[in-house]
Structure 1
Amino acid sequence: MLKIDKINVYYGAIHAIKGISLEVNQGQIVTLIGANGAGKSTILRTISGLLKPKDGSIHFEGKSIAGIPAQNIVKLGVSQVPEGRRVFADMTVLENLELGAYVRSDKKGIQEDMETVFQRFPRLKERVAQLAGTLSGGEQQMLAMGRALMSRPRLLLLDEPSMGLAPLLVKEIFSIIKDINATGTTILLVEQNANMALSIANQAYVLETGRITLAGSAKELAASEEVRKAYLGG
């Protein structure tokens, strides 16, 4: 579904991503794990069109998307839940969700997806008229995920969904991610909580200073002594 081949990405003079290649197959949950500053978020931002690779290729469902404007990538079926949630604080829950569907014009489908989001996140329905900036961190994460789902993506990019959340909420969010995947959405997950990420993923990549140092099934990486020492607290 997604194939990245030897991309290099720079922030000015800083070489952030160094010749990375990776693949995401349809129906999978693939996770990128690594320390802060390893380049995980940069990869997602490059896929979603917010950054442009200097060279290399990115193909989504066989179509080259490197350098395409971000809104066109959303139209193709790729949606991102950004790190730090980035909800529109001065807009209501409903308005945030409606904005998630801005590339669509099928009113009936939008209404159906809105109902699905409310079934998945009942707390959002209770707070539908509330300003997004007044929600708790966990509720904002749910809203950011709901907003991304409103574009009806086939590939969902999740950037640090557990960041800053209480352990109980982290479990809830990861349970929802599994549910979203089970209903047919492919997921590329960037996550510092390596234990949780590897527990739900099919495939995994370890990123260190802009390079992939390990790749394999999530089970293999969870069992790897190297990964356990570096990321799993053992």
Structure 2
Amino acid sequence: MLEIENLSVNYKAIKALLNISCRVDQGEIVALIGANGAGKTTTLNAISGIVPPAAGKISFEGEEITRMSPHKIVMKGISQVPEGRRVFAKMSVLENLEMGAYIRSDKKGIVAEIDRIFQLFPRLAERRKQLAKTLSGGEQQMLAMGRALMSRPRLILLDEPSMGLAPMLVEKIFEIIQEINREGTTVMLVEQNAHMALSIAHRAYVLETGEVVLQGPAAELAANPEVRKAYLGE
């Protein structure tokens, strides 16, 4: 579904990504794990068209999207849930969701999608008229995910969905990620909580200083002594 070939990204003199290659197959949850500054967010931002690659190629469903503008990439079927949630603070929950549907014009379909989001996240239904800035961190994360789902993506990019959340909420968010996946959305997941990420992913890539150093089935990586020591605190 998604193929990244020899992708490099520079921030002026800093080489953020160095010739990375990875792929996401339809229906998978693929995790990117690694320390801060490893290049995980940069990878997602390059896929979304937010940062320009210095070299390499990104293809989605057989079509090259390497230098496509971000809104066109959303129209192709890729949505990103950014690190830090980035909800529209002065808009209500409902208005945030409507913003997520900005590429759509099917009014009945949008209403049905909002209902589906409210079923997936009952807390958002209770707070539909509240301003986003008044929500808790966990509720804002749910809203950011709901907003991204409003464009009906075939691939959703999740950047640190568990960041700053209480352990009980982290489990809930990961259950919802699995549910979204079961309903047919392919997932690429960037996550500091490597243990949780590897527990739900089908495959994973380990990034270190902008390079892929390990890859394979998530269960294998979770059992790998190097990974356990470096990322699982064992």
TM-score, length-scaled by structure 1: 0.99
- Distance in 2, Cα, partners of 1:92 & 1:115: 16
Write the mapping of 1:71-90 to structure 2, written as runs, cut at 5 A: 71-90=71-90
SS at structure 1 position matched to 2:196: helix
Q: Please list every run of at least 4 consecutive aligned residues from structure 1 whose deviation after the TM superposition is greater than 2 angstroms.
A: none
User: Aligned AA for 1:126?
Assistant: E
Aligned to 2:39: 39
User: Aligned AA for 1:201?
Assistant: A
Tell me by how many angstroms 1:13 deviates: 1.4
Write the mapping of 1:90-169 to structure 2, written as runs, cut at 5 A: 90-169=90-169
Aligned to 1:8: 8
User: Aligned AA for 2:147?
Assistant: R
Tell me by how many angstroms 1:109 deviates: 1.1
- Distance in 2, Cα, partners of 1:109 & 1:91: 22
User: Aligned AA for 2:131?
Assistant: L
- Distance in 2, Cα, partners of 1:110 & 1:11: 38
Tell me by how many angstroms 1:67 deviates: 1.0
- 1:190 aligns to 2:221 (yes or no): no
Gaps of 5+ in 2: none
User: For 1:83-110, what per-residue CA distance to the aligned partner results, in whole angstroms no more than 9, with x for missing partners?
Assistant: 0000000110010000000001111111
- Distance in 2, Cα, partners of 1:61 & 1:109: 24
Tell me by how many angstroms 1:12 deviates: 1.3
User: Aligned AA for 1:86?
Assistant: R
User: For 1:199-219, what per-residue CA distance to the aligned partner results, in whole angstroms no more than 9, with x for missing partners?
Assistant: 000000000000000000001
- Distance in 1, Cα, partners of 2:109 & 2:49: 26
- Distance in 2, Cα, partners of 1:9 & 1:63: 20
Paired residues, number: 234
Decide which moves more: 106-115 or 201-210.
106-115
Gaps of 5+ in 1: none
User: Aligned AA for 2:66?
Assistant: A
Aligned to 1:18: 18
User: Aligned AA for 2:232?
Assistant: L
Tell me by how many angstroms 1:55 deviates: 1.1
User: For 1:126-165, what per-residue CA distance to the aligned partner results, in whole angstroms no more than 9, with x for missing partners?
Assistant: 1101000110000000000000000000000000000000
- Distance in 1, Cα, partners of 2:35 & 2:74: 28
SS at structure 2 position matched to 1:153: coil
